[in-house]
Structure 1
Amino acid sequence: MVLDPQLRVVEVNPAAEDLIGRSAKRLVGETLFDLLDLTGSGIERRLDREHAQLIARGVSIGIAGQERRVNLTVSPLSTHPGWRVVTLTDAGQEDMAGDTGPDVSLKAPAILAHEIKNPLAAIRGAGQLIARKLEPGDRGLTQVISDEVDRIARLIDRMQELGSNTREPVGPVNLHESVRKAIATVRAGAGANVAFSEEFDPSLPPVLANRDMLEQVLINLLTNAVDACGEGEAPSISVRTRFVSGLAANVLRLGTAVRLPIEVSVADSGPGLDPTLADHVFEPFVTSKKNGQGLGLPLVKKMVGDMGGRVSYRRDQRAGLTIFKVHLAVSEPRQEAGDD
């Protein structure tokens, strides 16, 4: 929220509307104290210092008659004396700093994402405020600010997905239905010159997966394949499914190693990754794309791992193919004692 010197709301974004439970039309013109009950938080008296930045983490305040634990930041706008940008986030969803589990490398981007959010909101608010003061023909640079903030926000969303501890439920999923839906989605946005081919084993049983996550994994891999080969001559992408015996994951379920006999692979005719990046392809921020974020493949690895599967990469120089393989478990009804 952007506040004027009297602490009246001038601008709000959709996130503020959702958190406070009112539309922008009803929020604009209200004072901060009309919207938030800051009694006992110690924040109210600190707001008297209009040039100071205020950061309060895990503070309890009243919003719409309910007590909420939030992270609150108040940042002064140096270009407009007395004006401030207020950001609020739900502290209950972002308490990750003490996590030192095995996936700490994935938690770090999410923690960083939280720290970026507050100044990012201030930048957006300042840009919106400046735009209101300019003639329409002079708002080009403020639009650049808005566009870049949106781009960073999308990056932050993906970073937070990497740090999420939430695991979606898994169950029987028809692999070929998910593959075909993913191909249709990616093909619609790919160039007409990109050739897609399929080689399916129709006898494969349902896999143990989450349908939405599996389709997102496939969309990410196919999109990467399009990006990798789309500019070359006769670009082609092939998707293959098959049964592979003897492959077991380093995952235990009920004390037994889970076998991953179902394989789906995505191969593209692109030039492949920089060899120096091959061993780090699933790490955050590793990318060979000019405008890449380096988060797509780490997210693929996380989602596949959450489904109890495994993902791998290799470059077949002889065939000129880059290949990503996903291995998943078979979804089978559990056998009861005495069953044949």
Structure 2
Amino acid sequence: MTLTGAIGEAVRASPDAARQIASLPYAVIMLRPGHRIAAVNGAGEQLLGQGARRLMGKALKSVIDFGETRLLAMMEDTDVQINARDMAARIGKSDARRLHVIVSPVAGWEGWQTLTLIEPAEVEALEEGGGDHQEAALRAPEILAHEIKNPLAGIRGAAQLLARKAKPADRALTSLIADEVDRIAALIDQMQSLSSRSTQPATPVNLHGAIRRARAVLEAGGHDGVRIREEFDPSLPKVFVSADALAQVLLNLLTNAAEACGESEKPTVTLHTRFASGILLRQAGDGAPIRLPIEIRVTDNGPGVDPALRDHIFEPFVSSKKQGQGLGLALVRKLVRDMNGRITHERDELRGLTHFRLRLPMVETRRRSATITTADKDPTGRENKA
């Protein structure tokens, strides 16, 4: 067979463009001239909350409200490719969210464009682990902990001996020494948890049962003035995670949310669950990709994290609290990643809300039979019947 013939045979044996687009884990929308929707893949249906049949023919601006007017102005030039990161967008009546937006002209089809929408969580999920520099930062406490804890034990023992001989007025100082040593030891224990490479075994866990247990612990510990709302999808399947790790993650997120909105006029924490396909975690090596279709969102109406810290809140020793050590969210991120999940942070300034989105794998991940539907022929020249 000639080289030309071999190439032709390979092309004929390959999936067509429509099937490839339908299989993508992020939203792809085909726009005809005038920015009207001509086609949308399965991930796009999930993101927009509507089926392809209902979306076809609608004006893009009636479905997605982009807060940045410059983006809309740039899209008027249908020959220009646009790559805009972290754009504010409101879909229907839902909360504003941040999206990466890619707009590309369709070669040979004047006025046609493809619009790709990627949530930041999807970008992180498609990337390899946390990076060598972060791994080194988390491993350092494991190396130093033993050397630090030994002298701490000696200091505490000496303080206890002094307390026996000290006058009553001086015992407060020895107690202070012992308390500070205990505080430092507890801090080291937290740091060791961050550096630990061991993971807890995953089992099928009832998502809403785990959330309610974490809520019960939170309410037992105070925060009486904070209202907690539940917006659950009762049809969600079980998640495949460590029950203990999930409980720790949820309690940390709920506690942070309650503390963050404690000074608000009507402090409210909202727990929201939903099915959100489109997030695909690619494992290192030859491991099969893992879909993360289950979303837990913890929302509070507090003032939010300092803008200067928002891109770093999951890093060790970064905290917006006056007395915080900056290890809580770093540990949360590690536990979530150990469960093959992902967590992201968003701030909706328009509504004054802070969101933490937790994406988790479910017990049985079945690939959805995705299709891309068009009103007639798409720019690939193929006719797709609904």
Same fold per superposition (TM over 0.5): yes
Residue 175 of structure 1, CA deviation? 0.6
Residue 305 of structure 1 corresponds to 337
Amino acid at match of 2:290: V
Deviates most, 319-328 or 116-125: 116-125
Q: Which amino acid is the alignment partner of residue 363 of structure 2?
A: S
**CA distance in 2: counterparts of 1:195 and 1:212, whole angstroms:** 25
CA contact (8 A) 1:312 1:325 kept: yes
On the 8 A contact 1:237/1:268 being kept in 2, the answer is yes
Return the match for 2:168 from 116, 133, 136. 136
| Equivalent in the alignment of 1:264 | 296
Task: Report how far residue 102 of structure 1 moved.
Answer: 6.9
Displacement of 1:107: 1.1
When structure 1 is superposed on structure 2, of 254-263 and 270-279 the one drifting more is 254-263
Q: TM-score, normalised by structure 1?
A: 0.66
Cα distance, 1:125 vs structure 2: 1.4
1:199-218 alignment, distance < 5 Å? 199-218=231-250
Paired residue secondary structure (2:283): strand
Deviation at 1:134, TM superposition (A): 1.2
Evaluate the alpha carbon distance shift between residue 147 and residue 193 of structure 1 in structure 2; reply closer, same or farther with a 3 A threshold.
same
1:281 alignment counterpart: 313
* Equivalent residue number for residue 355 of structure 2: 323
Q: Does 1:245 align with 2:277?
A: yes
- Residue 179 in structure 1 maps to residue 211 in structure 2: yes
Mean Cα displacement is larger for which, 282-291 or 126-135? 126-135
Deviation at 1:330, TM superposition (A): 1.0
- Counterparts of 1:151 and 1:143 in 2: how far apart (Å)? 12
Give the Å deviation of 1:270: 1.0
Which residue number corresponds to residue 290 of structure 1? 322
Q: CA RMSD in A?
A: 2.0
SS at match of 1:256: coil
How far residue 253 of structure 1 moved from its aligned partner, in angstroms, is: 8.8
1:191 equivalent in structure 2: 223
Q: Tell me how far 1:333 sits from its aligned partner.
A: 8.2
Secondary structure in structure 1 of the residue aligned to 2:344: strand
- CA deviation map 1:69-124 (0-9, x unaligned): xxxxxxxxxxxxxxxxxxxxxxxxxxxxxxx7972221123333333212211221
1:217 and 1:253 mapped to 2: Cα distance?
27
2:182 to 146, 150, 158: 150
The one-letter amino acid paired with 1:197 is R
Cα offsets for 1:229-262 (capped at 9, x unmatched)? 1123211111111000211124369632111000
Equivalent residue for 1:113, pick from 142, 145, 164: 145
Render the CA deviation track for 1:40-91: whole Å, top value 9, x for unaligned: xxxxxxxxxxxxxxxxxxxxxxxxxxxxxxxxxxxxxxxxxxxxxxxxxxxx
CA shift in 2, pair 1:218/1:253, >3 Å: farther
Aligned to 2:194: 162
Amino acid at match of 2:254: L
SS of residue matched to 1:152: helix
User: In 1, distance between residues paired with 2:133 and 2:307?
Assistant: 30
Which position in structure 1 is the counterpart of 2:155?
123
**Which residue identity does 1:324 align to in structure 2?**
F
Q: Indicate yes or no: 2:263 matched with 1:231.
A: yes
The higher relative CO (CA closer than 8 Å, separation ≥ 6) is in: 2
CA contact 1:179–1:218 (8 Å) conserved in 2: yes
Matched, 1:255 2:287: yes
